[in-house]
Amino acid sequence: MGDWAQVEPLFTELLRRQPSSAGELEQWLGDYSELCAALSQEEATRYIAMTTRTDDPVCERAYQEFVEQITPRCKPLVFAAEKAYLANPSLDTLPAERYAVLKRKSENLVNLFREENVPLETQDELLAMEYHKIRGAMTVKVEDAELTLQQAAKLLEQPDRGLRQQVWEKMTTRQLADKEALEQIYDRQVDLRTEMASHAGFANFRDYAFRRRERFDYSAEDCFRFHEGVERAVMPLARKIRLRQRQLLGVETLRPWDLAVDALNRPPLSPFANAAEFVRGTREIFSRVHPALGEQFQFMADQHLLELENRKGKAPGGYQISLQERRVPFIFMNAVGRDVDLRTLVHEGGHSFHMLAAREDPILEYRSAPIEFCEVASMGMELLALPHLGGFYKNAEDYDRAYRTRLEDIVLLLPSVALGDAFQHWVYTHPLHTREERSKAWLQLANRFNAGVDWSGYEEQRAHQWHATLHFFTTPFYYIEYGFAQTGALQVWRRSLENYPEAVERYWRALTLGGSRPLPELFEAAGARFQFDYESLEPLMDAIDKRLDRIAA
Ligand SMILES: [Zn+2]
């Protein structure tokens, strides 16, 4: 699948066939799915190799080759296949209920496709890779040790406030040293994206991105209602959490380097000592959510689909990726024995169960849901796992602390989602903006969603804080999804407080639908409303507030 001479004939053969009945067309769709699944798996395999061996230039080249040589050549053929599907005389004889979502997606793809945009998309992706490279090369020196930003960020959890400030200043100074390069990348990306939108007949990239991201079931207005809902329903609780942090720390004002430290100066939670313990304990959690999930997780471990431990030469972060031809999920992460690792694995586990739940569908597109719902699967699993964290946290204080951190992080995530989304709305509806105007827009929004952090004296750092958000560079407009999904996941959680087995049952049933139904139906199946305004957010914040009040530590 990495050899174009072998890939092309498969497309040619597919496009030569002319299915002449509903049955033949379904078979054709299945074969087309299989070809796309094989290509997707090839790309995923190369991506996994590149991120697990960043010091091996062969792996990087192999991935880059695929992105540069195979993906762009496939695009016109995929486009031709979509067109052939839509033009097929048997299309209307397919069961409408079953194929409505697929047809909607295909029509959208065909309507948006412009041959002239293919090279622009490739350029955009290469700029994103450049961003990764620049960020990945950033290091700071702390007490003679050369640390990556990720390693340095861990020091922000240290009780020594002077050290935290010093590390934070070093990190932000280092990031500012590359600000010119990052601003340039973003300038070029905004131009490229605006040009692509214009080729496709859109007034701005925002409207184009909404279509590209297949946002059929909500609009920009829904996003604005979410921003407003966060402002009214979430900010008061976010401020309460920050105020508590400030009071417990006993500091006059809460500074940017005071946010990650434990307010009671306790050492970091350390739930496990090695990968074997990590896997065993996490399987136990999943088994308690539902025995079948524990078995699925064990299957992943047996099949070497877990790449968990941090080591030199691995890319930072964590992700779940699907090997679409084998129809199995794969989890990548950098565990070092911290609470956040546990949270990541439970999260990626939720994505994996989602993939496995829908794996039998012959249509590739239906084996995965829109991202807004994928994150309900993962964030929902984080919340459903809460009652079972005791396997890792044997004493009540640790358990309470982990529970509190989860809930507080959710509350604090929502303003940052609103901020990131609102910023991009501004950027792409003002495509001719200057860098100064962009900074100003960012600052204005950062103030709107600030829960009480004092940045005075660090205005320059703050104005460029958005450089650290990789989504803006790699996947524009991908941000609100987290906010919508979290709202869905919290509804699953609230239901689980009343009737746990029923909440799990509905959650799982929704997962089995994959991407075969529109978003509102997927949310509905999980027992959640597809609505993200003040009315939806307020009762959820109320439930969190009450739960937090019951946690002593
Ligand atoms: Zn996720």
pLDDT tens digits for range 295-336: 999 999 999 999 999 888 898 889 999 999 999 999 999 998
Nearest CA among 414, 403, 450, 413 for reference residue 549: 403
CA distance linking residue 228 with residue 222, whole number of Å: 10
Q: Distance, CA 93 to ligand 1 centroid (Å)?
A: 37
Q: Distance, CA 89 to ligand 1 centroid (Å)?
A: 39
pLDDT, residue 44, reads 98
Q: Residue 176 in contact with residue 465, Cβ under 8 Å?
A: no
Cβ neighbours around 5 below 10 Å, total = 6
Structure tokens at 398: 């640790």
Determine what percent of the chain falls in helix, strand and coil, rounding each to the nearest 5: 70, 5, 25
CA distance linking residue 37 with residue 41, whole number of Å: 6
SS3 call for 526: coil
pLDDT, residue 154, reads 87
Residue 17: C-alpha distances to residues 13, 32, 99, 166 (Å): 7, 11, 20, 66
Residues measured by CB to lie within 5 Å of ligand 1, the ion: 378
Q: Residue 377 in contact with residue 406, Cβ under 8 Å?
A: no
Q: What angle do helix axes 339-357 and 396-429 make, rounded to 10 degrees?
A: 70
pLDDT, residue 34, reads 97
Residues 6+ apart with CB under 8 A from 362: 26, 29, 30, 33
Q: Residue 158 in contact with residue 164, Cβ under 8 Å?
A: yes
Q: Distance, CA 351 to ligand 1 centroid (Å)?
A: 7
Q: Distance, CA 260 to ligand 1 centroid (Å)?
A: 21
Cβ neighbours around 65 below 10 Å, total = 12
Q: Distance, CA 422 to ligand 1 centroid (Å)?
A: 21
Predicted confidence (pLDDT) per residue in 52-97, tens digit: 998 899 999 999 999 999 998 998 999 999 999 999 999 999 999 9
Nearest CA among 175, 40, 64 for reference residue 126: 64
pLDDT, residue 457, reads 97
Q: Distance, CA 347 to ligand 1 centroid (Å)?
A: 6
pLDDT, residue 522, reads 98
Q: Distance, CA 514 to ligand 1 centroid (Å)?
A: 15
Q: CA geometry: angle at 5 spanning 3 and 8, to 5°?
A: 100
SS3 call for 309: strand
Nearest CA among 476, 502, 490 for reference residue 413: 490
Q: How many helices (H) and strands (E) does the chain have?
A: 24, 5
Q: Distance, CA 322 to ligand 1 centroid (Å)?
A: 13
Length of the chain: 553
Q: Residue 492 in contact with residue 380, Cβ under 8 Å?
A: yes
Structure tokens at 385: 């796992």
Q: Distance, CA 309 to ligand 1 centroid (Å)?
A: 19
Low-confidence ranges of the chain (pLDDT < 70): 553
Strands 328-335 and 306-309 come out as: parallel
Residue 329: C-alpha distances to residues 48, 235, 279, 368 (Å): 12, 36, 16, 11
CA distance linking residue 201 with residue 208, whole number of Å: 8
CA 32 to chain centre: 27
Q: Distance, CA 421 to ligand 1 centroid (Å)?
A: 17
Predicted confidence (pLDDT) per residue in 110-148, tens digit: 999 898 998 999 899 999 999 989 998 999 999 999 999
pLDDT, residue 267, reads 86
CA distance linking residue 2 with residue 71, whole number of Å: 10
Q: Determine phi and psi for 95, rounding to 5 degrees.
A: -55, 120
Cβ neighbours around 164 below 10 Å, total = 21
Structure tokens at 280: 């065993």
> Please, which residues bridge with residue 332 across strands?
307, 319
> Please, which residues bridge with residue 307 across strands?
332
Q: Distance, CA 425 to ligand 1 centroid (Å)?
A: 22
CA distance linking residue 184 with residue 467, whole number of Å: 11
pLDDT, residue 553, reads 58
CA distance linking residue 221 with residue 231, whole number of Å: 15
Q: Residue 429 in contact with residue 206, Cβ under 8 Å?
A: yes
Q: Distance, CA 78 to ligand 1 centroid (Å)?
A: 27
Q: Distance, CA 344 to ligand 1 centroid (Å)?
A: 9
Q: Residue 364 in contact with residue 324, Cβ under 8 Å?
A: yes
Q: Distance, CA 436 to ligand 1 centroid (Å)?
A: 33
